[in-house]
Structure 1
Amino acid sequence: MKDEITRLARRALKTELDTLRKAGAGYRHDIAALKRQVAALEKGRAALEKQAHKNAPTPSPSVNGEPAGKSLRFSAKRLRAQRKNIGFSAEDFARLLGVSAQSIYNWETGKAIPRRQQLEAIAALRGIGKREASSRLEANA
């Protein structure tokens, strides 16, 4: 009797498991097809980006040594070197830029990053000499 119950239970389970196995195989097939489709779309997207990059308009001429429309980069070491080249203290350099001396300290130590407007002011000071910087500072005062 016990053997007969076991046999019938296995038979019922086998039919249920077969349908589950078939469904699982179908899902794996669908997933593989979707992966192939995603790979093809990614390849097409990369080709379009490459083509768009080739056909990108040329940048407009530079303004104050900086290309127009290009993002300004910031380097704490370069800011300190720029200030030292001019021979200004952090306080004088801050007055020249229209910010606080604490801001200059934070920028030079990497604790903060200047905002876009301040980056433009820093970029405008690139390439000026000590005399020019001193005259601008006196004009601001």
Structure 2
Amino acid sequence: TAFQSILGDTKSKDSPKTLRDRIREGSKWQKYSNHYILEELKKWDFNSRQRMECFKGIMKETEPVFHHYFLDKSWSAPTWFQRRLAFTRSVASTSMAGFIVGLGDRHTSNTLLIEDSSEILNIDLGIVFDQGRLLS
């Protein structure tokens, strides 16, 4: 099904979080699931320093996997470069535009990755013009 947006129809789309999770499922690089890590962290009453130490320890055991998306979707070096550049530019431009209009609540579930071009599209624009500051 097509995703309707202001920009028009986008047939192939997924959130970066969904893609990351799909890549991690069979990955030899992912030692612990996100659920496992969160459950382990809930068991402890950390102060800020301990949280940072714990985070750094987890990061040593976790390797990035999102770059596999670009390798899998590219059939040549120029295509890989074009997709990576489109992704980087779209993240930069949506970040700047979001900052200017006060778009809050940005995370990987609030963006779509357009698979045809590897560009990012912001969705869930409910917290805009600094409305997030009104939440308590």
**Structures share fold, TM-score greater than 0.5:** no
More relative contact order, 1 or 2 (CA 8 Å, 6+ apart): 2
Q: Give the structure-1-normalised TM-score.
A: 0.23
Larger gyration radius, structure 1 or structure 2: 1
The structure where helix makes up a greater share of residues is 1
The structure where strand makes up a greater share of residues is 2
Q: Give the structure-2-normalised TM-score.
A: 0.23
